[in-house]
């Protein structure tokens, strides 16, 4: 028997606003970005890109570049031959989807400005960049296809001539019977919204280093990626290199927002060419390349229709989307709008839902996942139309939502799109948000300003959002034709000294996994947070994982950590029982130590057990040495965070300038592991959602050149441009995972865009304004005030292309 | 985002700089703080053979008091300018406008003279120099000359500076008692250029306006004076500011771009001029 040890009761780490373990290193610059990596004999790659949106390539001659100083190699697509692999799309959403080749280097035609044509490999970045200018390419211009409605016309030029169409797919979905619901309705209210194209614009541009000199012919690729595990698999499929000879490492990664949830051409090229040359190779993207060729997000034309009673009860919903794929399909390009299909009905009850989405090719940068990926687009449309419908019916927008939302006592609730929402309390979040905003007082002030024709008008916008987190139940992904699963893996080890290692397959790129996983594991094992080391981001040390996107890490990856830690405790209990000469069933585990129930005097700490498991001198029969366990969790369902966001905005009607006066959000993300990390996620998410509403917008000129190709023209707001956010939470635990968590990575972005645009439109309704195109720039607001029908205008400047070609004439709303 | 190669010269004196420029002809570029030139180099929009970095010429830095003028060295950084007690006391309009230039990182590198010599009509300081009737002191192989702000700016990014000349300092008349000022900058995010800016100085006398000078940012290829408004304001009472401001865009032909079409810019010029003059007259 061991001696009695008095152990202080341990305080739970989960729920504490602990400072992030990551930050001291990050904020003092002791970081390991991919571009910081320098290897002996390393070469540098530069990529020659198309200056034209659409042209036939009649000749590429890289030989003049070979004569330039420092140049080691140069390749066109033809020079690479079979090694010029095609980027796969892993989400063919329909059986008859059109999936054209997406070669690393274009060989027959270039299809957007920035399309890769050739590469130079040289001794340093400068030599590589200089030598690009020597490559000779002959282009035969072809008419660019830039606008989606025009692209779908029979006489349109084709982005991929061999496909015979610019239509990528049409995907349809129904819940209940929309036509029956419509037949019963008093009114049918149709609106046309535009969800403009955005650039994800992560702080760290992309970068790769490929080192082919590993033992056993292994090639190591460091990449600024969100998905080292998925990347390894895709690289193996594209290059033919056996998966077990590829190691992918995501070192410190400076943000992704979906843009690094990708297999990029440069990743394949770096691996293939480094292998061919037998030397390490680096490529780092410039900010200009980042804007031009790293995938874009959003870009949907949205037709949305509500069939309602005169009292504002929703009976049915119809959504018809046109979604811009860009010039090629990237890994989940077609699936992004489909992710939104289940979210248009949001928190509202109804009898029928009809959804259709048509994906369209254009001569623009490919689109793919961007923070929220389909859900912000859906939330924007439904929350915009709810405010517009409230105005049409003369009902307060909050009251209209109350008449339609799922009441808290109705959970679990299966929605019209077939998802079972496990929990939620929309009433509580909304009441708290109204109180924090001072809703009634601001409504009074709004009326006063209207009455006295004040040059500054006040608007209040509402967004009562929900979303789905925790990608994803593998069977469901299979039913949607996604080619992979949605599980996550973790290993928990208690080493001989009692130090704890948590290996996670959920690779962070700024979220704070290391801190949060430490908190979770510390509680599950009853140890100190500082005793836990989290290992991630390297297929050599964390071989299994599905990585980080879609607010999945905590709800899937975090649960794998919990499950693995529980298995460790189960095994430790067998050892402790043996050491304590007790039956395992008589032991209890508390604060990191096992003791016999009712006889707390004798105990074994987890650290003592770990040492015994290491020496293996005295283990019970049948128990293997070492104290470690794995878990691979496949989520049974999604989780559904929700919240109420309210925005009060001042509009200077003389200039059109919109300035947020107060922004309140009350989010319900279930249980919270680290409130400080949550607060950071909410703030950053709000900034990105507000950016779509007021600042950011991709614009092409009539030839397909990206006009907003730098941070001078693509306006990313910073701290001085944003208000102090008023944030609060309600806490309705999820019932579908042991921690009761729901996910928070995208909530702010999903919720805030419609709240802000609703506020702008609300301020201007007395002028007859019912919509303003995003971004709600001062000029658009001013034009809408002076000509309500213009909705601020579709184009930001004459001769430019935005919104995939939406036109004001086709955007008429109103009741029928 | 990688510049082409160029020769780099870092003279220690104005004389050395001028001689370096003279020997390089048209192929040299002067680099002050580099906040405009380096992006142009990185985007390969500019291919100079020689870059003459005047950043180490101490004689070009600092602010001094010369009685009825302040003299601001061309290489004084924006941050030094806006914190300078002489500037704040005697040329507050410069401090007010400089505070709106880009962000703190740019203001610590970018220079007063560099911004003026770059002559970007969207920059804040050219219109301010115009409104203040500043004098530009230029040194070349033949010695020094002083050019009034009204003659310094020739066209988009073009000034009277010859290829072998260097802007060395700027002489700014002090605003005396009875003068007020305001810089109204209209931009969408804090670090971006002005869509339109208005720099106004107003001399009050017995409750009315004795005279006013108004510089317009980004209303044409060069900074402009709102002459019609200035004339309408001379001797006018405060109640007529709105009418006078209605002429602020007279004769302008601003560009149409992503941030605003020409008619919107002209509208903004009128609104912002009214606001700037009102604030300056009340100050």
Q: How far is A459 from chain B (nearest CA, A)?
A: 19
Mean pLDDT of chain A: 95
| Tokens found for residue A749 | 């972005």
Report yes or no on A180 lying in a domain. no
Main-chain phi, psi angles of A84, to 5 degrees: -80, 75
Distance CA A427, CA A190 (A): 27
Query: Within this chain, do residues A244 and A353 fall inside the same structural domain, yes or no?
Result: no
Helix (H, G, I), strand (E, B) or coil at A30: coil
pLDDT digits (tens, 9 = 90+) for A132-141: 999 999 999 9
Report yes or no on A728 lying in a domain. yes
Query: Within this chain, do residues A418 and A521 fall inside the same structural domain, yes or no?
Result: no
Helical (H) or strand (E) element with A402:
helix A397-402
Q: How far is CA A228 from CA A268, A508, A509, A536, A690, in A?
A: 13, 10, 11, 10, 30
pLDDT tens, N- to C-terminus, chain B (283 residues): 688 899 999 999 999 999 999 999 788 999 999 999 999 999 888 899 999 999 999 999 999 999 999 999 999 999 999 999 999 999 999 999 999 999 999 999 999 999 999 999 999 999 999 999 999 999 999 999 999 999 999 999 999 999 999 999 999 999 989 999 999 999 999 999 999 999 999 999 988 999 999 999 999 999 999 999 999 999 999 999 999 999 999 999 999 988 899 999 999 999 999 999 999 998 7
* In the block, residue with structure tokens 């115009």: B130
Query: Within this chain, do residues A709 and A603 fall inside the same structural domain, yes or no?
Result: no
Average pLDDT over residues A755-775: 97
Contact A779 B256 (CB under 8 A): no
* In the block, residue with structure tokens 């600024």: A224
Query: Within this chain, do residues A641 and A627 fall inside the same structural domain, yes or no?
Result: no
Question: Taking a C-beta distance cutoff of 8 angstroms, is the pair A639, A741 a contact?
Answer: yes
Distance CA A780, CA A813 (A): 18
| Tokens found for residue B210 | 């004795």
Across the interface, of B2, B192, B264, the residue whose CB is closest to A126 is B2
Task: Name every residue whose Cβ is closer than 8 Å to that of residue A264 and which is 6 or more positions away in sequence.
Answer: A87, A206, A294
Contact B261 A654 (CB under 8 A): no
Length of chain B equals 283
Suggest the residue from B1, B245, B246 to mutate for an interface test with chain A (most A CBs closer than 10 A). B1
Asked casually if ipTM beats, i.e. exceeds, 0.90, the reply is yes
Helical (H) or strand (E) element with A396:
none
Query: Within this chain, do residues A644 and A679 fall inside the same structural domain, yes or no?
Result: yes
Say whether residue B190 is in contact with chain A using an 8 A CB cutoff.
yes
Across the interface, of B2, B257, B260, the residue whose CB is closest to A129 is B2
Query: Within this chain, do residues A694 and A719 fall inside the same structural domain, yes or no?
Result: yes
Across the interface, of B191, B192, B256, the residue whose CB is closest to A797 is B256
Report yes or no on A643 lying in a domain. yes
For chain B, domains (ranges, CATH) are 7-52 (3.30.43.10), 66-173 (3.30.465.10), 179-282 (3.30.390.50)
Helix (H, G, I), strand (E, B) or coil at B107: helix
Confidence of residue A148 (pLDDT cuts 50, 70, 90): very high
Pairing outcome for strands A281-284 and B208-217? unpaired
Query: Within this chain, do residues A521 and A501 fall inside the same structural domain, yes or no?
Result: yes
Distance CA B269, CA B248 (A): 6
Suggest the residue from A708, A779, A780, A793 to mutate for an interface test with chain B (most B CBs closer than 10 A). A779
Report yes or no on A348 lying in a domain. yes
- Distance from first CA to last CA of chain B, Å, rounded? 46
Domain limit, last residue, from A575, A606, A633: A633
> Which ranges constitute the DSSP H helices of chain B?
14-24, 37-42, 78-83, 85-90, 92-98, 104-109, 112-118, 124-131, 149-152, 227-233, 241-245, 262-282
Main-chain phi, psi angles of A541, to 5 degrees: -110, -20
Domain limit, last residue, from A596, A617, A633: A633
Task: Name every residue whose Cβ is closer than 8 Å to that of residue B133 and which is 6 or more positions away in sequence.
Answer: B148, B149, B150, B173, B213
Report yes or no on A381 lying in a domain. yes
Contact B267 A782 (CB under 8 A): yes
Question: Taking a C-beta distance cutoff of 8 angstroms, is the pair A365, A329 a contact?
Answer: no
How many domains, chain A?
Answer: 3
Query: Within this chain, do residues A458 and A320 fall inside the same structural domain, yes or no?
Result: yes
Distance CA A388, CA A790 (A): 17
Say whether residue A126 is in contact with chain B using an 8 A CB cutoff.
yes
CATH of the domain at A105: 3.90.1170.50
Across the interface, of B43, B188, B256, the residue whose CB is closest to A715 is B188
Report yes or no on A8 lying in a domain. no
Burial A309-340 (b: 16+ CB within 10 A, else e): eeebbbbbbbbbbbbbbbbbbbbbbbbbbbbb
Nearest residue on chain B to A717, alpha-carbon basis:
B189
Domain limit, last residue, from A633, A648, A683: A633
Query: Within this chain, do residues A437 and A548 fall inside the same structural domain, yes or no?
Result: no
Burial B18-42 (b: 16+ CB within 10 A, else e): bebbeebeeebbbbbbbbbbeebbb
Average pLDDT over residues A496-507: 97
Query: Within this chain, do residues A285 and A309 fall inside the same structural domain, yes or no?
Result: no
| Tokens found for residue B222 | 């060069």
Distance CA B281, CA A632 (A): 72
CATH of the domain at A625: 3.30.365.10
Query: Within this chain, do residues A594 and A669 fall inside the same structural domain, yes or no?
Result: no
Distance CA A78, CA A103 (A): 11
Look up the domain containing A794 and give its range.
193-198+294-471+637-811
Helix (H, G, I), strand (E, B) or coil at B270: helix
């Amino acid at each position: 028997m061991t001696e009695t040890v008095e152990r202080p009761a341990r305080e739970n780490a989960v729920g504490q606003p602990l400072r992030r373990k990551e930050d001291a290193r990050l904020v003092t610059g002791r970081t390991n970005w991919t571009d910081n990596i320098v290897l002996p004999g390393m070469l540098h790659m530069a990529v020659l890109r198309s200056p034209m949106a659409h042209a036939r390539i009649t000749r590429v001659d890289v030989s003049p570049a070979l004569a330039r100083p420092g140049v080691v190699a140069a390749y066109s697509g033809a020079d690479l031959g079979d090694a010029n692999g095609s980027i796969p799309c892993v989400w063919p959403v329909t059986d008859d989807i059109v999936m054209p080749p997406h070669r690393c280097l274009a060989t027959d035609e270039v299809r957007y400005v920035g399309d890769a044509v050739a590469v130079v490999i040289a001794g340093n970045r400068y030599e590589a960049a200089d030598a690009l200018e020597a490559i000779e390419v002959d282009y035969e211009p072809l008419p660019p296809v830039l606008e989606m409605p025009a692209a779908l016309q029979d006489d349109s030029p084709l982005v991929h001539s061999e496909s015979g169409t610019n239509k990528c797919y049409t995907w349809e979905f129904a819940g209940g019977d929309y036509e029956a619901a419509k037949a019963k309705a008093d009114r049918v209210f149709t609106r046309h919204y535009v969800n403009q194209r955005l650039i994800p614009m992560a702080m760290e541009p992309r970068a790769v280093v490929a080192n082919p000199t590993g033992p056993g012919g292994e090639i190591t690729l460091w990449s600024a990626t969100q998905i080292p595990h998925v990347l390894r698999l895709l690289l193996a499929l594209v290059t033919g290199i056996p998966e077990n000879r590829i190691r992918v490492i995501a070192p410190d990664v400076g943000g992704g927002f979906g843009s690094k949830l990708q297999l990029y051409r440069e990743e394949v090229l770096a691996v293939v060419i480094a292998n061919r040359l037998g030397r390490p190779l680096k490529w780092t993207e410039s900010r200009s390349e980042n804007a031009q060729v790293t995938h874009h997000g959003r870009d949907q034309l949205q037709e949305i229709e509500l069939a309602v009673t005169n009292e504002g009860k929703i009976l049915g919903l119809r959504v018809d989307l046109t979604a811009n794929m860009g010039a090629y399909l990237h890994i989940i390009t077609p699936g992004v709008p489909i992710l939104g299909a289940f979210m248009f009905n949001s928190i509202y009850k109804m009898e029928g839902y009809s959804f259709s989405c048509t994906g369209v090719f254009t001569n623009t940068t490919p689109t793919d996942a961007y923070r929220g990926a389909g859900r912000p687009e859906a939330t924007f449309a439904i929350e915009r139309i709810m405010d517009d419908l409230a105005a049409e019916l003369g009902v307060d927008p909050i009251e209209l939502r109350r008449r339609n939302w799922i009441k808290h006592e109705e959970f679990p609730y299966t929605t019209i799109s077939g998802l079972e929402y496990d929990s939620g309390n929309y009433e509580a979040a909304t009441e708290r948000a109204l109180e924090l905003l001072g809703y009634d007082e601001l409504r009074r002030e709004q009326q006063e300003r209207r009455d006295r024709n004040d040059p500054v008008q006040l608007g209040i916008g509402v967004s009562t959002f929900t979303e789905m987190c925790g990608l994803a139940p593998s069977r469901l992904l299979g039913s949607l034709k996604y080619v992979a699963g949605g599980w996550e893996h973790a290993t928990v080890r208690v080493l001989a000294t009692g130090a704890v290692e948590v290996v996670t397959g959920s690779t962070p790129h700024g979220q704070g996994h290391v801190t949060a996983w430490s908190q979770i594991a510390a509680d599950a094992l009853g140890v100190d947070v500082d005793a836990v080391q989290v290992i991630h981001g390297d297929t050599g040390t964390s071989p299994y994982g599905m990585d980080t996107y879609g607010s999945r890490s905590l709800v899937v990856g975090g649960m794998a950590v919990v499950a693995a830690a529980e298995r460790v405790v189960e095994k430790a209990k067998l050892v402790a029982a043996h050491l304590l000469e007790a039956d395992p069933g008589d032991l209890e585990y508390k604060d990191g130590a096992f003791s016999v129930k009712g006889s707390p005097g004798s105990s074994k700490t987890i650290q003592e057990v770990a040492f015994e498991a290491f020496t293996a001198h005295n283990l019970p029969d049948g128990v293997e040495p070492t104290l470690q366990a794995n878990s691979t969790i496949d989520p049974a369902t999604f989780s559904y965070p929700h919240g109420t966001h309210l925005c009060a905005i001042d509009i200077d009607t003389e200039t059109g300038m919109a300035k947020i006066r107060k922004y309140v959000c009350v989010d319900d993300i279930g249980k919270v592991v680290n409130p400080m990390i949550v607060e950071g996620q909410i703030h950053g998410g709000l900034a990105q959602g507000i950016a779509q509403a007021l600042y950011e917008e991709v614009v092409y000129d009539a030839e397909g050149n990206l006009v907003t190709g730098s941070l001078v023209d693509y306006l990313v707001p910073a701290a001085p441009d944003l208000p102090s956010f008023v944030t609060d939470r309600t806490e309705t635990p999820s019932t579908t995972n042991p921690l009761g968590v729901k996910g928070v990575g995208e909530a702010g972005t999903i919720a805030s865009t419609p709240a802000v645009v609703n506020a702008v439109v609300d301020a201007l309704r007395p002028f007859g304004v019912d919509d303003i195109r995003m971004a709600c720039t001062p000029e658009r607001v001013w034009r809408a005030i002076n000509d309500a029908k213009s909705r601020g205008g579709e184009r930001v400047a004459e001769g430019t292309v935005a919104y995939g070609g939406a036109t004001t004439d086709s955007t008429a709303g109103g009741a029928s | 985002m990688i510049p082409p190669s160029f020769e780099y010269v870092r003279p220690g004196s104005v004389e050395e700089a001028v001689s370096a420029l003279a020997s390089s002809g048209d192929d040299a570029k002067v680099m002050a703080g580099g906040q405009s030139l380096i992006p142009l180099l990185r985007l390969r929009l500019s291919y100079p053979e020689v870059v003459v970095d005047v950043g180490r010429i101490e004689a070009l830095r600092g602010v001094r008091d010369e009685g009825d003028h302040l003299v601001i060295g061309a290489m004084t950084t924006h941050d030094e300018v806006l914190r300078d007690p002489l500037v704040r006391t005697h040329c507050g309009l410069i401090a007010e406008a400089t505070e709106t230039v880009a962000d703190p990182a740019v203001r610590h590198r970018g220079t007063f003279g560099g911004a003026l010599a770059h002559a970007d009509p969207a920059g804040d300081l050219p219109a301010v120099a115009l409104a203040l009737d500043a004098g530009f002191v230029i040194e070349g192989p033949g010695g020094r000359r002083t050019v009034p702000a009204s003659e310094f700016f020739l066209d988009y990014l073009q000034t009277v500076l010859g290829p072998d000349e260097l802007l060395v300092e700027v002489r700014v008349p002090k605003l005396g008692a009875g003068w007020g000022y305001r810089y109204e900058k209209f931009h969408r995010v804090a670090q971006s250029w002005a869509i339109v800016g208005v720099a106004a100085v107003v001399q009050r006398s017995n409750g009315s306006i004795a005279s006013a000078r108004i510089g317009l940012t980004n209303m044409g290829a060069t900074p402009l004076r709102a002459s019609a408004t200035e004339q309408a304001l001379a001797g006018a009472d405060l109640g007529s500011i709105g009418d006078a401001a209605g002429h602020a865009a007279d004769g302008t032909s601003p560009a149409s771009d992503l941030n605003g079409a020409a008619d919107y810019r002209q509208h903004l010029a009128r609104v912002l001029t009214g606001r700037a003059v009102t604030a300056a007259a009340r100050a």
